[in-house]
Amino acid sequence: MNTFGLDTFGDVTHDAEGRPLTHAQTIRNLVDQGVLADQVGLDFFGIGEHHTPDMPLSAADVVLAAIAARTSRIHLGSAVTVLSSDDPVRVFQRFSTLNAVSEGRAEIILGRGSSVDSFPLFGYDLADYEDLFEEKTQLFAELVKGGPVTWQGKTRSSLHEQEVVPFTEPFPTWIGVGGSPQSVVRAASHGFSLMLAIIGGHPGRFAPFSELYLHALEKFGRSPLPIGIHSPGHVAATDEQAREEFWPHYLDVITRLGRTRGFATPTPESYAHEVGPHGALFVGSPETVAEKMARTMKTLRASRFDLKYGIGGLSHESLMRTIELYGTQVVPRVHDLLA
C-alpha cells in the first residue's frame, strides 16, 4: 500500500507582511498544520530536529504529542531524529511514550544529521560522526526489539539485562539516507525501513540505492520493508504561482545553509532545473507535483512519499494551503497514477 506524508523542519513562519513570527507562535502554528494534515487524510506528519534560531524545532516529540491529542488517524514521527547526538535509550523512551499517547501512531526516522548543530550543543565531536551513528543505531535496534537489553559500547554506559520502559506496541523505525551507501546497508542489516532524502539533483540517481537495499534485505534474511522518499516542495494552484512563491525563500535558505554545508548558491537556471522533471524539488500545481511523485516512486520502487513543505519565510496561511492541496488534490492523483 502506498502512503503519503508531510515533513517539516519547523522553519520560522512569517506573517502576511513578511515579518518573522516568534518561535512560540511558529510552534503553535505547527500543531495546527499537523491537525490539518490529519483532516485532509494524510498518512504521516514528521518533524525534523533542528537547533537554530531559524529552525527552532529542537523537541519535535513534544509537538507531535500535542498533535496526537487532537488527531486520531495520522501517524506522527521525526524526520529525522539526530540519533548521533542523542541518547538512544532516551529517544526510545520518548517515542514509546508518543506511541502510547497516540495509540500506536508513532514512527521514527533516524539520521546521522545533515545539520550538525546538535554536535557542539550536546558535546559531541564531529570526528566521531560515523562511529556515533553506527553504535547508537545498533543500540536502538536492540531497544525496539523489546525485552531486557544487554549492550556495551564506547558512546554511552553499558546496559545489563536492563528493562527500558514504557513497553508499547512496536512502531516502525526508518533510517534516513542522504547519500551514504553504508547507511543503506545498515538499515537493511537492522531490519529498518529506508527513507531516501533527495534534496538536489536527479532523483533517479538513487535507484541503485533502492536495489542495494532490497538486495541487502534479502541477504540478511529480512522480510521486505518499505522504501520511502523525502523531498522538498511546495504546492499552489498553478505551476507559476508555486514557483514564484517558493523561489525567494529557497534562494535565501539554501544560500545561508550553503555557507556551512557546501551547497551551491541557487541560480534561476539551477532552480528551473530542480523544479523540472529531472530535479529534486516538487514545486508546482497539484497535477505537476503528482505526476513527478508517481514517476519518482516507480523509479525508486518506493511505497511512501513525504513532501518536505514549509521552507522558511513562507506564511502559515500559505503553508495551510499547501497542506490542503497536497492532501485533497495531489495525493489522490498519485494514488490513481500508481493504481
Partner 1 sequence: MQIAVLGAGHVGPVIARLALAAGYPVAIAGSGDPARIEMITEFLAPGAVPRSAADAVQDADLVVLAIPWHRFGTLEPAMFAGKVVIDAMNHWPPADAPSGTSEEVARRLAGAHVVKTLNHIAYQDMEPPGGRAIGLAGDEAVEVVAEFLARIGFDPVPVGPLTSGRLLEPGTPLFGVVAGRPEFEKFARELS
83 touches partner 1 by CB under 8 A: no
CB of 104 to partner 1, least distance (A): 34
265 touches partner 1 by CB under 8 A: yes
Cα dihedral 111, 115, 118, 123 sign? positive
- Of 70 and 261, nearer to partner 1 (C-beta) is 261
69 touches partner 1 by CB under 8 A: no
- Of 221 and 262, nearer to partner 1 (C-beta) is 262
- The C-alpha angle 45, 108, 309, rounded to 5 degrees, equals 30
277 touches partner 1 by CB under 8 A: no
205 touches partner 1 by CB under 8 A: yes
Please name the residue that has the C-alpha cell 526508518. 174
- Of 155 and 328, nearer to partner 1 (C-beta) is 155
CB of 288 to partner 1, least distance (A): 22
Nearest to 324 by CA among 38, 48, 75, 45: 38
CA atoms within 13 A on the CB side of 116: 16
CB of 60 to partner 1, least distance (A): 24
Please name the residue that has the C-alpha cell 550543543. 121
CB of 204 to partner 1, least distance (A): 10
181 touches partner 1 by CB under 8 A: yes
Query: Which of 148-156, 163-171, 201-209, 236-244 is the region at the interface with partner 1 (rule: CB under 8 A)?
Result: 201-209
182 touches partner 1 by CB under 8 A: yes
- Of 2 and 270, nearer to partner 1 (C-beta) is 270
Neighbours of 219 (CB within 10 A): 11
Task: Report the SS3 class of residue 5.
Answer: strand
The CA–CA distances, whole Å, from 215 to 168, 190, 208, 219, 278 equal 31, 14, 10, 6, 26
In whole angstroms, what is the distance from residue 284 CA to residue 238 CA?
6
276 touches partner 1 by CB under 8 A: no
Burial, 323: exposed, middle or buried (Cβ in 10 Å; 0-12, 13-18, 19+)? Answer: buried
Instruction: Please select the residue that binds partner 1; options are 53, 221, 262, 268, rule is CB under 8 A.
Output: 262
Indicate the helix (H) or strand (E) that contains 128: none
211 touches partner 1 by CB under 8 A: yes
Judged by CB under 8 A, the chain residues 87 through 146 that form the site for partner 1 are: 126-127, 129-130
Length of the chain (residues):
339
Instruction: Please select the residue that binds partner 1; options are 31, 263, 299, 329, rule is CB under 8 A.
Output: 263
Query: Which of 66-74, 101-109, 138-146, 194-202 is the region at the interface with partner 1 (rule: CB under 8 A)?
Result: 194-202
In whole angstroms, what is the distance from residue 161 CA to residue 150 CA?
5
Query: Which of 61-69, 138-146, 254-262, 308-316 is the region at the interface with partner 1 (rule: CB under 8 A)?
Result: 254-262
